[in-house]
Amino acid sequence: MSSEEQTEYGARDFLCYQLLVELDEAQHDGRSITRTQFLKISPIADRILSEEYDRDIGLPRYWYMYGEVLNETPLNDGFYTTTDAPWDGKAIELSPGISSDTFSVEENVRRDIHEVARRLASNFANERTDELKEYQYREHAPTKFIIAFDDFRSFITETDRQSTTLDSFVSGKSSYSPESEALELLDDALISYPEDQYEEMYDVFLEWEDTMRLLIEQETAFDEAEGLLRDFWETFSKVELRLQHEQNTPQEQKMRWVEQRENAKREFRERLAEIRNERLTNRCQSDVLNDVAESYSETVRDMF
């Protein structure tokens, strides 16, 4: 953009700006605004404006991985920057010289945006991003499958943190079986899958589900199961979620997403096949060893 050209910032840009202003004021001890925090809170604000104030400001947003996020690509750039943070992540800062006067927005729209931004900053400043994620899932998850899948993912993740294998997982109840609970949660995800809505990924989902079942039944290391789960959900997000559950995405961007679907599915299927073949081989070898051990035991018993 030449120095003579002026970017015209509208209502959707102003919403993002005002959220950053209010969050910055509400954060404790000068804590930075995380990029994840910003990307997740913007769609929540847009939904409130739409549902409670009847304001459609055209904010681009879509569901991806663990919640609905702001689609930054169509926004006018220049009024905020992304910087490296002291932690493993990114922080968001307003650009120098940007003020409320930079934005061309009607006064009544400004007032509504101010109210929503202030409310959300009060509710979510200083909160972990998990709190934003839980709010989105509770209030705005577009399908039951997304919730069922997240229940399964959360269990696998938590179990991996507490134990390297299912077999060594310890519970307060002696009869507790993490394998059984994992399989029940996987069943819930399978039952709730909306085949007609997520048709593009249905066959891949069935292959993944069968492989996950194989991993769980073999009492495999949960870090491998968690990794495969994470890769599947990223692929599912690329192929289904961001296309099925989006608002105000430019047509050119949606076309790129459609073009990327086949490659995303192919790459995931290749990894899935490697893991599945390896586990099936291990199961065959284990069955052979078990047969040998059983035969040996019978021979010993016959001798006595």
Neighbours of 289 (CB within 10 A): 10
End-to-end Cα, the chain, rounded Å: 91
Quick one: angle between helices 251-303 and 222-236, nearest 10? 150
More confident residue, 24 or 283: 24
* Whole-number Å distance between alpha carbons of 52 and 84: 36
Mean pLDDT of the residues in the chain = 86
Tell me the per-residue pLDDT of 151-194, one tens digit each, with 9 for 90 and over: 999 999 888 666 644 554 444 545 667 888 999 999 999 999 99
Q: Do residues 136 and 40 make contact, with C-beta atoms less than 8 angstroms apart?
A: yes
CA distance 115 to 200: 41
Q: Are 19 and 120 in contact (CB under 8 A)?
A: yes
- For the chain, the structural domain boundaries read 11-136, 142-303
Mean pLDDT of 138-157: 96
Question: 28: pLDDT confidence band, cut at 50, 70 and 90?
Answer: confident
Rounded CA-CA distance 61/276 in Å is 35
Burial (Cβ within 10 Å: 0-12, 13-18, ≥19) of residue 53:
middle
User: What pLDDT is stored for residue 297 in this prediction?
Assistant: 47
- Kindly tell me the sign of the dihedral angle through the C-alpha atoms of 54, 80, 18, 20: positive
**Per-residue pLDDT band at 284 (split at 50, 70, 90):** low
What is the C-alpha R_g of the chain? 25
- Mean pLDDT across 241-262: 97
d(CA 289, CA 26) in angstroms, rounded, equals: 62
Burial of 266 (0-12, 13-18, 19+ CB in 10 A): exposed
Closest CA to 123 of 67, 16, 48: 48
What band does 293 get if pLDDT is binned at 50, 70 and 90? very low
Q: How many Cα atoms occupy the beta-carbon half-sphere of 57 within 13 Å?
A: 30
Average pLDDT estimate for 110-119: 98
pTM of structure: 0.85
Q: CA-CA distances (angstroms) from residue 116 to 41, 49, 72, 94, 123? A: 11, 7, 20, 19, 11
Strand order from edge to edge, sheet including 90-94: 33-34, 90-94, 80-84
Q: Nearest-CA neighbor of 146 among 254, 261, 232, 241?
A: 241
31-35, 151-155, 164-168, 291-295 — most confident range? 151-155
Q: Residue 80 phi/psi, 5° resolution?
A: -145, 160
Q: What percent of the chain has pLDDT over 70?
A: 83
